[in-house]
Structure 1
């Protein structure tokens, strides 16, 4: 198979395989070889990575004059001019200098060519693997939240976090896995991200519209989670074993990663398992039905040749996740267990959840089961001095939610989503300093309900396609880039009938002629269109100081639940009602940024203003008397609304890292966003209750001091201690209409951590050790983005506390053993 793949791709690129010139040399720091430095010819796709001895070589370079850029994280780049003639071999050595600047990191998200972070006018942030490792969390999204200002998440317990960027979330945030858009029925409140947190080596986050290169669903931004690509010693099996334990919910995580590199081929494999019992806090004790189990396998094979590369990857994800419903005794506030159905279920007299249930790693009959499968190929071929890139993928998401205590094997929700991803891009030769790219991408989807009893959305078909043109040029100290895109999305479904199921006493999907059939989803067909684009510039005041400005128009077609929902989502405990007349959302966002990575300090200020047409949001449905509309007992009813909206705010970063005191760092950030509902008639009618948008995070301030011991202490090296203050202000700007949201008091969490690398006398790394304490003083708090805050059956309680609280004190340890 390997030989066949190589033969086919070689035949396809014979036109580009002719030998031209070549460039080689070494990369050093203080005359010492620097392993795995990046070497690229600026403005082209010629590039390579130095080996473990600092040696590099780039072959098949067309004759011409180039700027060679040598870079590595933690070092300032070196730029050298080189002229190549046909058949020449030119030798160039580079000496890099240590530096803390991250402006010269190369990013791949939101651009059509790998681009230095400094030249991208769009606000983009990067988290490296070491930073992810130091933020021990239940999932990858929570790790990103701690490291990047402006990123938050709507949560449903410890293992379900839906990312929000600057107050916008759900289908407005596009999550990518290795550049492939993640499709896993992400329309639901309780639907998390189906990605292995231990297999991610890097995260790149775009804050703002990224519709230009990704189309619909990137209105708020993009989170690209990039897995590890083997780059170690040739012919040697490498790997790591990761173990993770949390005291609060007893989380046990284990992951085995293997990688192998032989000549032009690279292979990687990872197996991960996690299990946790119910989490706890000092108000609720153990939160019944918040346990989970998760198992993930992933594999990759990649070939790198002179003509480019081709990579085949596959992942399988299996998660069983309990979802609490908040039912409890009105006096003792102890959690209770549903044991009967509908009319036979006496909510006020359910039995208590006993200690065995609360501490068990076993899952209760009422849970959701998510399976996600993914296979994809990414190929990049050099065509002369241009590059053609393709990405093709298939994903299947199977979601079952079990909500029938008397028939625990009967799924309430059972849907299967199949998605085909496609992306084709071409970047021609750089002409007179102009970098251009154009491409077409999109998805095709089918969603089908299986043997279920509840049907919140219809069986639908979706086809999405969009094309774009991107242009970039550097004029003196100014980098200018922008482009335009056109998208079209067609979504349709046929009449969908439900009727009685005599076998189980519930409902089922039936044909129109079956006895008792009723039409739940009338047929629908519509095509949405959108034009998006961006224009921005970066002005390089100096090597360390930048000014950035960008204006972007984003586009998002309504998702399936917003236009088609009409039923109970069992896991969310919500009946959703959609609106078939909704128009696409369009945003116009302006960004201004000041970035300075100075010798002793990092300074960043990013301001944004976002005006959205046809903004879609959820609002609780009340009747004419102001009482909640109850369609399904024990479940809230929400109806989607649409109006104009405005979001504005800023993020600030101040990091102090004295050059003459490398043992200390002081890192600080602040993020603030305001979301205004511009439906003036509704605001007036509700006496101001509808003034603000729902799910807007409050002011968030984070301050961390980090002490790094210099030198080694026996087997311990790279020892650090850190203490963090994580403060959230009160949120009194909330969507109060029909009590959709309530005010949230402010709170401050104190976190701390210790880490070290353990090495043998030979210098070989034994392991990396991370100890962390979150919410050290066991503060009782409710995040305003915590959905469990609203899981409550009563209007008052003896202790004055309503809803479920966030996780309490958690001590965790993570050990990474490389081999």
Structure 2
């Protein structure tokens, strides 16, 4: 079957004659060939690996400029830019050994540099690494990255928090498209499944220069699964079991590529019962079911590269409102529950010219969200349709200066068809234009940019004046100019300094402008403010990194000043037994950072010690504390790497101790939270049985069954603890 599929694609692409090619040999410092080195061209979505002699080859390459990266575990990655491609090109590479993580190309910033070369500090984590930590959802894995946490409702709903900012202040990208899924709601989760996602990049700071409104606090940029190497076929199956929720996560995928064509498809199903707290009781109706399907097809030749991807995601979520009630291990959700259907279609095109290129991303998202209170007839039903476009022209390189000019936009409509209205029917239009330049000399780089944006929001009137759910018509326009300036230099060979200053903005969302009713899950009656102004911030980031063969150290510090910060404040009024909160604005400031080290002692090549500490403080202009600020955290991991003969390779075992401190700096309507320490264990590797190999992992999370309540848990007000001990067993093998 594999040969038939591959032959069909090879035959279809055989009519295309080979154009430009690049080949070469990858060696180490001793001039020995390196096999299985990943050689990848990000703009072309094309990859290959070196053979036993360290040789590689790419065919049918474009005439314009593009980048090729070389990476393998245990060696420092390299990135080579090709500006003028000949018909036949030879690029030989020498890699130096490194015991730390592989350097990766960062695609969430404009010039697609390696992480070590980037002016802005960007956190990069592979989904495989996050999964090895045994977390049951994608957002739980993200919350293990320093500076990132989550606002959670049990184990099913999680919203990302970056350095104290959340909701519409954090922008999420997948498949090169901004995710729009009514993310203003506290009980609206991330809406992404980790199956079919390769890695995530985290920008911790204002990224409005590149992404416009809603990137004031940062960006989560999810890179989709790579296509197969040229002229190969791959299929794999993975299965995970979670003891706490008696949950199961199954995924199966296949992919194949030729020199020009590439195709992949992956389906997954995730199902969990109510989660169990430390004393053995289950939190009623925290169960959920998720179906996810991703597929993609790509084509590239000497003139352009094009990739079309589609993602379907269906969620059936229970909404806990009775705390710890009837005990059950059923996976069938009870009322109240949510039903969510999400369709994401993206098209990425790169057109190559003589010495320049045009990168165009188009996206369409259809988000259908229903909430069912006590019957299968939706009381709340919202349909959000969003069309995005993003075009960037990369000018020919002028000496050491690289320049990009881009335009971005969005057209969005929101329609209601249920009895309840959280927000009115509305239309949102965005348009932005920006330019950015990168100048590199010796061991230093300067990057600067400027941008203008306009957002227009119009809505129609609804309801009866004086009653809940009444909305006046709205027609508001918001403008903003933003800029960024970054500098990176090597103070010494092992010491790197990054300094970035950037501004960002966020236009108020529909809920903040128009709310008039009880906000479910918070026991608050919320009143919007149609006169809210745009949030505007300026943030300064300082990053110092020291890295040698056996020691790595980093320190990140930031100061973020936000004008017109939007938040809810109690009015003292009570409606329908609910306290009334109104949306108001005040200036605010957030400051803090992360510090950490990674020690790899010589000659104990199998031992690693990693530690990190993160802190953030958020205050209003009057020095009162902001709400929803995560507690300080100190994270320590002792990890070993090993191999057992020829049947168990890439083995690892780790002990993690994560200490979250008490959070006493709370806003007026929050309560303080106690600190807690969790202990986690992990073990895994690749088992080889003859010609067959499969990956296994075993995780024990909250190993001592600690009873605790996270500060950002939305079940905290009811005194409901977070998840207790959870043992996770996973297996992944090629078919």
TM-score by length of 1: 0.83
Query: Which among 748, 759, 763 is matched to residue 688 of structure 2?
Result: 759
Shift of 1:51: 3.6
Q: C-alpha distance in 1, partners of 2:45/2:422?
A: 50
Shift of 1:68: 8.3
Inter-CA distance 45–240: structure 2 relative to 1 (3 Å threshold): closer
* Partner in structure 2 of residue 470 of structure 1: 436
Q: C-alpha distance in 2, partners of 1:465/1:39?
A: 33
* Partner in structure 2 of residue 811 of structure 1: 727
Shift of 1:480: 0.7
Query: Which among 160, 164, 175 is matched to residue 163 of structure 1?
Result: 160
Alignment of 1:20-99 (within 5 A): 23-29=22-28, 31-38=32-39, 49-53=47-51, 54-57=55-58, 70-72=70-72, 74-77=74-77, 89-99=88-98
Inter-CA distance 776–519: structure 2 relative to 1 (3 Å threshold): closer
RMSD between superposed Cα atoms in Å: 2.9
Inter-CA distance 63–400: structure 2 relative to 1 (3 Å threshold): closer
Shift of 1:28: 3.2
Query: Which among 389, 398, 405 is matched to residue 368 of structure 2?
Result: 398
Q: More deviation in 160-169 or 134-143?
A: 134-143
Q: C-alpha distance in 2, partners of 1:723/1:642?
A: 44
Query: Which among 668, 671, 680 is matched to residue 742 of structure 1?
Result: 671
Q: C-alpha distance in 2, partners of 1:637/1:81?
A: 58
Alignment of 1:596-611 (within 5 A): 596-611=546-561
Inter-CA distance 74–303: structure 2 relative to 1 (3 Å threshold): farther
Give the conservation status (yes or no) of the 8 Å contact 2:421–2:469.
no
* SS in structure 1 at match of 2:423: coil
Inter-CA distance 145–463: structure 2 relative to 1 (3 Å threshold): same
* Partner in structure 2 of residue 701 of structure 1: 634
Are positions 1:719 and 2:685 aligned together? no
Shift of 1:78: 5.5
Shift of 1:718: 2.1
Query: Which among 591, 600, 615 is matched to residue 648 of structure 1?
Result: 591
Alignment of 1:275-314 (within 5 A): 275-282=271-278, 285-314=281-310
Give the conservation status (yes or no) of the 8 Å contact 2:160–2:170.
yes
Shift of 1:409: 2.0
* Partner in structure 1 of residue 384 of structure 2: 417
Shift of 1:542: 4.6
Inter-CA distance 556–769: structure 2 relative to 1 (3 Å threshold): same
Shift of 1:702: 0.3
Inter-CA distance 234–36: structure 2 relative to 1 (3 Å threshold): farther
Structure 2, unaligned runs of 5 or more: 1-16
Inter-CA distance 249–71: structure 2 relative to 1 (3 Å threshold): closer
Q: C-alpha distance in 2, partners of 1:205/1:788?
A: 27
* Partner in structure 1 of residue 249 of structure 2: 253
Q: C-alpha distance in 2, partners of 1:418/1:68?
A: 36
Query: Which among 465, 470, 476 is matched to residue 526 of structure 1?
Result: 476
Q: C-alpha distance in 2, partners of 1:67/1:282?
A: 51
Are positions 1:730 and 2:700 aligned together? no
* SS in structure 1 at match of 2:463: strand
Q: C-alpha distance in 1, partners of 2:285/2:448?
A: 48
* SS in structure 1 at match of 2:513: helix
Alignment of 1:540-555 (within 5 A): 540-542=490-492, 544-555=494-505
Shift of 1:34: 3.5
Give the conservation status (yes or no) of the 8 Å contact 1:150–1:166.
yes
Give the conservation status (yes or no) of the 8 Å contact 1:401–1:571.
no
* SS in structure 1 at match of 2:425: coil
Query: Which among 588, 604, 618 is matched to residue 675 of structure 1?
Result: 618
Higher alpha-carbon Rg: 1
Are positions 1:583 and 2:525 aligned together? no
Alignment of 1:599-638 (within 5 A): 599-623=549-573, 629-631=574-576, 633=577, 637-638=580-581
* Count, aligned residues: 718
Q: C-alpha distance in 2, partners of 1:33/1:538?
A: 31
Structure 1, unaligned runs of 5 or more: 1-16, 328-333, 336-352, 500-515, 624-628, 684-690, 793-802
* Partner in structure 2 of residue 187 of structure 1: 184
* Partner in structure 1 of residue 138 of structure 2: 140
* Partner in structure 1 of residue 7 of structure 2: none
Inter-CA distance 493–284: structure 2 relative to 1 (3 Å threshold): farther
Alignment of 1:187-266 (within 5 A): 187-232=184-229, 234-236=231-233, 238-266=234-262
* SS in structure 1 at match of 2:129: helix
Inter-CA distance 374–59: structure 2 relative to 1 (3 Å threshold): closer
TM-score by length of 2: 0.92
